[in-house]
A and B are shown apart, each in its own frame.
Chain A
Amino acid sequence: MKYLPAILVGRLVRFAVRLVRKGGGSALPGLILSKIAPGLLASTLSRFKDGLIVVTGSAGKSTTTKMLVGIVRAHGKNVFTNPSTANILQGFYSSIVEQSNLFGNIPGDVAILEMDEGHAELLTRKISPRQVTVLNVMEDQLDRFVDPAFVRDTLAKVAFRAREAVILNADDQNMLILNEQEPSLIGLSWFGLSGEVLKTQRHGLGTAPTFVEEIKRPTVNSEVVSVDGNRIVIREASQHSVELPSRGLHFAVDAVAAFESARRYLSNFDPELAAKSISQMPPVFARGQIAQVNGEDVEFILVQNPGSMQLNLDNLTTKPEQIMFAIGRDVHDPSWLWTVDYSGLSHADIVAGFNAAEAALVLAYNDVPIGSVVYDLDDALQAFFSMPKPKNGYKTVVFSADAMRRMRRTLGFWSPEEDVA
Chain B
Amino acid sequence: MTAVIRLFPSRLNLNGDQANALVLQQRAAWAGLNIDVIDHEDVSTLEPITTRVQEGGEPLVVILGHGSRAAMASIAHLKSQIENFLALCKEKSHAVLVIGSSTEWLLEHSKTERVSEFWSGFIRYEGSEFEVFGYLNSEASLDAVWVDGSLLYTLLHGPVLAKSSGLADYLISRLTGKDTKSAKTDEILNYELAAIRTARGQ
Where the two chains meet, the residues of A that have a C-beta atom closer than 8 Å to any C-beta of B are 139, 142-144, 146-149, 208-212, 333-339, 354-358, 360-362, 364-367, 373, 375
**Of all chain B residues, which has the CB nearest A337?**
B16
A333 touches B137 (CB 8 A): yes
| Count of A-B residue pairs with CB < 8 Å | 100
**B193 cross-chain contacts in A, Cβ below 8 A:** 357
B59 within 8 A of A: no
Complex-state Cα separation, A209 to B71, whole angstroms: 8
CB contact between A357 and one of B22, B159, B191 (< 8 Å): that residue? B191
A338 touches B74 (CB 8 A): no
Given contacts A147-B68, A212-B70, A357-B198, contact A336 B187 (CB under 8 A): no
B16 touches A211 (CB 8 A): no
On chain B, which size bracket covers the interface? 35 or more
Q: Which of B176-197 contact A (CB under 8 A)?
A: 184, 187-188, 191-195, 197
Given contacts A337-B16, A365-B23, contact A143 B116 (CB under 8 A): yes
B142 within 8 A of A: no
B114 within 8 A of A: yes
CB contact between B157 and one of A148, A210, A335, A373 (< 8 Å): that residue? A335
Complex-state Cα separation, A373 to B70, whole angstroms: 37
CB distance from B6 to the nearest CB of A (A): 14
A211 touches B137 (CB 8 A): no
Contacts A212-B70, A365-B188 known; 19 new A-B pairs at CB < 8 A:
A143-B116, A144-B116, A146-B137, A148-B70, A209-B70, A209-B71, A211-B70, A335-B15, A338-B15, A338-B16, A339-B16, A355-B195, A356-B194, A358-B195, A360-B194, A361-B163, A361-B191, A362-B19, A364-B187
CB distance from A297 to the nearest CB of B (A): 31
B187 touches A210 (CB 8 A): no
Given contacts A333-B137, A335-B158, contact A361 B70 (CB under 8 A): no
| A–B Cβ pairs within 8 angstroms, 19 of them | A139-B68, A143-B137, A147-B68, A209-B71, A211-B11, A211-B71, A211-B74, A333-B158, A336-B15, A338-B158, A339-B16, A357-B191, A357-B194, A362-B19, A365-B19, A365-B162, A366-B22, A373-B191, A375-B194
**Of all chain B residues, which has the CB nearest A351?**
B191
Given contacts A142-B137, A149-B69, A335-B159, contact A364 B19 (CB under 8 A): no
CB distance from A67 to the nearest CB of B (A): 30
Where the two chains meet, the residues of B that have a C-beta atom closer than 8 Å to any C-beta of A are 11, 13-16, 19, 22-23, 26, 68-71, 73-74, 114, 116, 135, 137, 157-159, 162-163, 184, 187-188, 191-195, 197-199
Q: Which of B70, B74, B187 has the most CB of A within 10 A?
A: B70
**B13 cross-chain contacts in A, Cβ below 8 A:** 339
CB contact between A211 and one of B73, B162, B191 (< 8 Å): that residue? B73
Complex-state Cα separation, A208 to B19, whole angstroms: 19
Q: Which of B137, B163, B187 has the most CB of A within 10 A?
A: B137
**Of all chain B residues, which has the CB nearest A353?**
B198
Complex-state Cα separation, A362 to B26, whole angstroms: 11
CB contact between A210 and one of B15, B70, B114, B162 (< 8 Å): that residue? B70
**Of all chain B residues, which has the CB nearest A146?**
B137
**B15 cross-chain contacts in A, Cβ below 8 A:** 142, 333, 335-336, 338-339
**B194 cross-chain contacts in A, Cβ below 8 A:** 356-357, 360, 373, 375
B137 touches A361 (CB 8 A): no
Complex-state Cα separation, A142 to B101, whole angstroms: 13
Complex-state Cα separation, A140 to B132, whole angstroms: 25
Complex-state Cα separation, A356 to B198, whole angstroms: 9
**Of all chain B residues, which has the CB nearest A361?**
B191
**Of all chain B residues, which has the CB nearest A354?**
B198
**B163 cross-chain contacts in A, Cβ below 8 A:** 361
CB contact between A336 and one of B16, B74, B188 (< 8 Å): that residue? B16
Complex-state Cα separation, A386 to B168, whole angstroms: 39
**A142 cross-chain contacts in B, Cβ below 8 A:** 14-15, 137
CB distance from B42 to the nearest CB of A (A): 14
Complex-state Cα separation, A365 to B18, whole angstroms: 13
B195 touches A357 (CB 8 A): yes
B68 touches A208 (CB 8 A): yes
B14 touches A338 (CB 8 A): no
**A148 cross-chain contacts in B, Cβ below 8 A:** 68, 70
**Of all chain A residues, which has the CB nearest B8?**
A211
